[in-house]
Structure 1
Amino acid sequence: MLLFTKKQLTNLLRYLGIGVKRVPRVIKELRRKGFHVVGLIIPLVLYVGINYTTFFTKEVALWIMSTITLVYFIWEMLRLNIPAVKEFCMRTYGGMMREKEKDRINGSFFYLLGSTLCIYAFNPTVTIASLLFLIIGDFSAALIGLSYGKTKIGNKSLEGTCAMFLSCLLISLVLFRDCNLGEQLAFWGSLAASLVELFNPSWIDDNLTIPCFSGLAIHFMAYRLGTEIVC
């Protein structure tokens, strides 16, 4: 978003064949999802730490994420209960929040909570894959669905779901390339993430459900196939 003015971005989206009525919604979603891309720091640090250091273990990662999640939860409680804090938050990053998040815990907390649970429960490679499914896969689903979606499934679109599945599949094929039957793990994990995104109930945040359920699906399939997930 910082690379383009609003007019330039509008012209680019129109050039890509996105209808005039869809452009404002796509721009708004790009701004919101673009901010969420900051969440890539968690799987990135986990990948580098686990693979290229000796001190950054799964236990260290869990301790750090648990602390961050707790601190953010306290901040959210302050935002929801102290008007001055809420005013500050709305002024600084309120534009990135969905309308329904302004008076309840926002999606960033559920992303942190989901990351913490995944680190605790899953193999590090599965955790990284599951978080990338959420960040990149969900971004793909939103962007393609809002831009080109025509076949509606509830309030989502078939086009967006297919985009998420393909992006998740590409990510997981790379991450599980050294695993026996890694393509099977990639397929079922990507399918689980896409179905959760498509049918996720409104009362629970998909920042929590997508990584947790896709991670569970990968571990379940690894158990059923009798294959080991390589870190």
Structure 2
Amino acid sequence: MDRSPSPLGLIPIHQKWRSFVHRHEVPRKILHTSIAPITLALYLSGIQPSQIHPILLSLLIPIFATDLLRHRSHRFNRFYISCLGALMRESEVDGYNGVVWYLLGAWISLRWFPKDVGVVSVLLLSWCDTAASTFGRLWGRYTPKVRTGKSLAGSLAAMIVGVGTAAMFWGVVAPIWGSPNGFDGGEHAFAFQGTFSLPANVRNMLGWTSEQATISGGLALGIMSVWAGFVASAAEAVDLFSWDDNLTIPVLCGVGLWGFLKTFA
């Protein structure tokens, strides 16, 4: 089905505001992008992922149960759509609401990845996916297709926003507000500690010392940011078993970031 929110006109609010909602998905994008500021606000308040992921799970269970219920009752489904249709695509009328996958993706990221990787994965989902959708709709017709429904314009937008997001979090937010206030120590320590080093077997093969094979400071932050942008762009563009990208983007970003850090940090 067309990834536009209402290609068939099944959702009432999309019929009323068809042209505007069809092109821009404004209510959905507002909800999508609002998750990042909320995530940053929670981080800056000192609340840890271990305090957040149980709440996400407690929200996920009843929301998922409600989705199951609406698929078994046509009347309830129409009522559900009349209330939440502005935030839905038509593919979700007979499928699962994207909020289910969003909560599941955020829960996995904050539950199973290191603190900084989990937080950045949620930020990348919130901002990079929105950027890719927005710029893909605006300019995607002028650039090559990455795959069906995904354009180079959208992928480049996701990468640029991903680079900026990672640089902002690891280069500004965490070192100025997080670490000095003790938010990121002990069991909540970051996976990225500001340095990268080649693996020992590679160092030995090249004949380099540990100092020669290590980088830190702005160069390390730059590499981490570019990698985060690349991972975000790739996660947004890939089709993984046709799973919803609200699930695949944060999980793939988490895997890509953590794998990179486990190898070089």
Task: Give the TM-score range, shorter chain.
Answer: 0.7 to 0.9
What percent of counterpart residues are identical? 26
CA distance in 1, matches of 2:63, 2:162: 28
Decide whether the 8 Å contact of 1:29 with 1:143 is kept in 2.
Answer: no
CA distance in 2, matches of 1:217, 1:165: 14
1:152 maps onto 2:152 in alignment? no
Structure 2: gaps (5+ residues):
1-18, 176-193, 196-219
Cα distance, 1:34 vs. partner? 2.2
CA distance in 2, matches of 1:141, 1:218: 19
Partner of 2:129: 138
CA distance in 1, matches of 2:134, 2:21: 10
Decide whether the 8 Å contact of 1:186 with 1:218 is kept in 2.
Answer: no
Question: Which is worse superposed, 162-171 or 118-127?
Answer: 118-127
User: Which string of whole-angstrom CA distances, capped at 9 and with x for unpartnered residues, describes residues 177-216 of structure 1?
Assistant: 2533232222222211211211224620010111111111
- Counterpart residue type for residue 68 of structure 2: M
User: Which string of whole-angstrom CA distances, capped at 9 and with x for unpartnered residues, describes residues 64-122 of structure 1?
Assistant: 11111112111211222223321221111213211111111121100100111011111
Secondary structure, counterpart of 1:200 in structure 2? coil
CA distance in 1, matches of 2:150, 2:238: 9
From 79, 86, 91, the equivalent of 1:100 is 91
CA distance in 1, matches of 2:221, 2:22: 34
From 209, 215, 218, the equivalent of 2:248 is 209
Look at both structures and tell me which one has the larger radius of gyration over its CA atoms: 2
CA distance in 2, matches of 1:38, 1:146: 20
Decide whether the 8 Å contact of 2:24 with 2:134 is kept in 1.
Answer: no
4+ residue runs over 6 A deviation:
none
User: Which string of whole-angstrom CA distances, capped at 9 and with x for unpartnered residues, describes residues 32-86 of structure 1?
Assistant: 32232343365235413xxx34xx3332222111111112111211222223321
Partner of 1:172: 166
Decide whether the 8 Å contact of 2:53 with 2:107 is kept in 1.
Answer: yes
1:80 maps onto 2:71 in alignment? yes
- Counterpart residue type for residue 117 of structure 1: I
Count the aligned residue pairs. Answer: 199
Structure 1: gaps (5+ residues):
1-22, 227-231
Cα distance, 1:136 vs. partner? 0.9
Partner of 2:231: 192
Decide whether the 8 Å contact of 1:46 with 1:124 is kept in 2.
Answer: no
Check 1:201–1:29 CA distance in 2 against 1; reply closer, same or farther (3 A cut): farther
CA distance in 2, matches of 1:60, 1:202: 31
Question: Which is worse superposed, 185-194 or 132-141?
Answer: 185-194
What value does the CA root-mean-square deviation take over the aligned residues?
2.1
Partner of 1:7: none
Higher RCO structure (Cα 8 Å, ≥6 apart): 2
1:44 maps onto 2:43 in alignment? no
CA distance in 1, matches of 2:143, 2:72: 41
CA distance in 2, matches of 1:58, 1:131: 12
Partner of 2:50: 59
Partner of 1:161: 155
